[in-house]
Amino acid sequence: MSDEQGRKRFPPRVYSMGDEPDPRFSLANERTFLAWTRTALALFATGVALEALAVPINPVLRLVAASLFVGLGLLATAQAWFGWARTEQSLRQGRALPGPMTGPVLSVGIAIGVVLIGAGLLW
């Protein structure tokens, strides 16, 4: 691909390098991006729901859990974008695909959030 074609697509730092990969792989990468975006939306909704609904939880633990879920939603949003870009660059350059950057952090964060909600229900 010429440099000129790579600059017409956003973000140019991804599309201006390497060769065009098999479209199936780029489309699969896009579906993964959308899955991370849906995950982020669910995490945001959980955080907002904890504060917006009359959930009978200790107010301090509810606020901490809600903030945690909103923060995890932001992290999942970053994973969606940066994970997509890293994978697309690897596909274009014929390199091995990168591993997930934030999967373990999200898993631990969700577990902590669930424990906070459980503890808030008991107090």
Q: What is the mean pLDDT of the chain?
A: 92
CA distance linking residue 17 with residue 93, whole number of Å:
7
Using the predicted structure, report yes or no on whether residue 98 has a pLDDT greater than 50. Answer: yes
Using the predicted structure, report yes or no on whether residue 20 has a pLDDT greater than 90. Answer: yes
Using the predicted structure, report yes or no on whether residue 83 has a pLDDT greater than 80. Answer: yes
- Is the pLDDT higher at 6 or at 87? 87
Q: Quote the tokens at residue 92.
A: 């274009």
Q: Where are the domains of the chain?
A: 35-122
Rg (CA), the chain: 19
Using the predicted structure, report yes or no on whether residue 2 has a pLDDT greater than 70. Answer: no
